[in-house]
Amino acid sequence: MTTFQHAAAQTLPYTDAPPLAGLRVLDLSRVLAGPFCSMILGDLGAEVIKVEKPGVGDDTRAWGPPFWHHLSAYFLACNRNKYSLTLNLAVPTGREIFFRLLERADVLLDNFLPASLERLGLNREKIFHVNPRIIWCSITGYGKTGPLANTPGYDFALQAMGGLMSITGPPEGPPYKVGVAITDVVGGLYAAIAILACLHARKSSDHGYTIDVSLLDCVVAAQVNVAQAYLVTGQVPPRQGNAHLQIVPYQLFNTADGYLVLAVGNDEQWQRFCRACGRTDLAEDPRFRTNPDRVRHRQELLAELEPLLRSRTTSQWQQLLSAAEVPHSPVLDYEQLFRHPQAQARGLKVTVHDPSGRPVDLLNCPWRIEGAALPPFRFPPDLGQDTEHVLKTWLGCDDQLLHQWRRDGAI
């Protein structure tokens, strides 16, 4: 931190209230994109009510192994800082309870197909009649319009259709998917951004908003420069494997004992790299002087660099390139990553305790905020564990009414 930044941070007013304190989120979504979105809001202090089907719950509760006791690692990854309410929307009493909760909510999140929403009576007119100021965000595979609007969206299929697999994998052989469900993660992020923007806008407009998030739209938008290059040129880009389409050298190399990512992002870094490894002739070669030159002469340059990178170990290259301030990285697995001093300094994992006091490590949220407190992590909930608490605090229900609703099959 610079002196200026440190001085500015010292003068910031501080509050114990998290940034989204007082915000109420009613989350009907399941699996990944929606729960990831609502977890972001919960991490920032919103009260997130995870509405789940009685006796079944979110599909990901059963997506294992591995499990931590009875909760899957998948469920643990995206359901912290939430309360679980079981509610049967298929019965009239369940829908009545839902609409009573909706009156008191700020945000409604779902990932139902449009036809499913209609069958449940959750249409736009009804939603906004009950709460005209609601921010209603729907996350679906293909959006609410178009011929695929009622087609279920799955990450693997969306990576395939959205063009991402066409640019992922080695130049020879089949296309590859990204190793995580990236369309869901990106979709959850885009949804959270849109929700926060609409909450801000509502302060002056005093009316609600609907947000239609398509995972297909999100994965296409997230391909930024590569997809834009196609729009500019009309040329379908070939797969580059572990290389970069528009920057050279920016790829994975074999070293004497492993692998190293070399990420030369500009011509000054290229000059520093060449000086550090004693190959100033490469820096002076007109074929390699600028990045456009290096892209045009990629194969000639790789013929020089590949044996050069194999001449030293990964550790030797790290020392050399760090001293020369040339961007690079070894390839770490998770065990190496979480042992790394940088990961420990940033707290990439955090230990929390379940209601029985048993500790478990969870992935941490990725922001550090000056000027406001973030809530302590709430352990991912058991199915329906907070049903009574939510209905009593949100709706003021007594035990007799809760008993009646259970008898009706609503909760």
**Of 24, 81, 27, residue with least CA distance to 58:** 27
Task: Specify the domain boundaries for CATH 3.40.50.10540 within the chain.
Answer: 10-223+348-407
What pLDDT, on the 0 to 100 scale, is given for residue 2? Answer: 41
What pLDDT, on the 0 to 100 scale, is given for residue 16? Answer: 83
Residue 184 among the catalytic residues: yes
Task: Specify the domain boundaries for CATH 3.30.1540.10 within the chain.
Answer: 250-331
Sort 122 into a burial class: Cβ within 10 Å, 0-12 / 13-18 / 19+.
Answer: buried
Q: Does residue 16 or residue 249 have the better pLDDT? A: 249
Paired tokens of 194:
């849109």
Mean pLDDT of 49-76: 95
3-state secondary structure of 42: helix
The CATH superfamily holding the domain 10-223+348-407 is Crotonobetainyl-coa:carnitine coa-transferase; domain 1 (3.40.50.10540)
Mean pLDDT of 176-190: 97
Determine which one of 184, 293, 361, 382 is catalytic: 184
The separation between the first and the last C-alpha atoms of the chain, rounded to the nearest angstrom, is: 51
Query: What is the band of 4 on the pLDDT scale with cuts at 50, 70, 90?
Result: very low
| Residue type, position 23, single letter | L
Q: Which residues have CB under 8 Å from 335's CB, separation 6+?
A: none
Q: Is residue 403 over pLDDT 60?
A: yes
What pLDDT, on the 0 to 100 scale, is given for residue 3? Answer: 39
Phi-psi region of 102 (alpha: psi -120 to 50; beta: other; left: phi over 0): alpha
- CATH architecture of residue range(s) 250-331: 2-Layer Sandwich (3.30)
Residue 116, CA distances (Å) to 33, 56, 90 in order: 18, 18, 11
CA dist 370 and 60 (Å) reads 34
Place of tokens 């000027």: 371
Q: Which residues pair with 329 in a beta bridge?
A: 261
Average per-residue pLDDT for the chain:
94
Q: What is the pLDDT of residues 165-175, one digit of tens each?
A: 999 999 998 99
